[in-house]
Structure 1
């Protein structure tokens, strides 16, 4: 019975690491699209976006290494996350600094909630997954807090983007967990 429970925990850990890896790829692509457009619409954000993208690249590498250690392939939603992320980045980058900040705050809010849930569910059953997830939480929180502080409350784009981006992020995570 204990072996069965460990197998179920490892399967869940594998699935979570796959989805997190795909999500980090999506985040890299969001920032890539935003960087391209911010050169035209929000030049003052390019350095910050580039730094955040480098964090996401490191996060993706952490999850990639864990997938390799486990002998797992990446999630089938990997390319969906990349393409969707790039399109989201281009569109929000075109809309300017407030849309960029609102998008990051919305995505990171959902991601942080999922990471916290993952840590609770995997605690005691999959220490390697817990370690990989724990390694990224502080930087994801930094991205959220910094971006949320830049959002101009009451403006149009944050009101429109937050529910759309949050729901889309939730949907991609849901799909990834079932792929």
Structure 2
């Protein structure tokens, strides 16, 4: 605040702004953490159910990071290599499409409106309406982080974290569901 160019330098934060900014920061951190955790869990589950896709992910990781089980040193020395994983990136996008941890709000339902604190009402166009050119993405199109002014500001770091966690975890552990074993043990 001391480096502000205006003549009226503020030496304190406006309490209303501080309260608003604190809430928004907490929300930002919680949403990112929750989204990444859910996506990591779904990726382990779905890859354990699809051994062909898992084998392709393993092959891609070995090609980029070598055959050493732990890719930690390679990631630390060459973090840019995380961007050389197109198949892993595609798998993550598909998992996010199938199991989105959060949804965007670009299309509404007929008769539903949003209201702001000033009493103004906003009605979003319904996804089903397809007359004329539409700015609404297809109902099954890729939308997880959205686009434009409403895109998630954390999408790049989230995708990087998803890929790095896949490289670190999938190389060191084998996963399979244990439901059949569990139910066999249950009376």
TM over 0.5: no
* Higher-Rg member (1/2): 2
TM-score, normalising length from structure 2?
0.33
Higher relative contact order (CA 8 A, sep 6+): 1
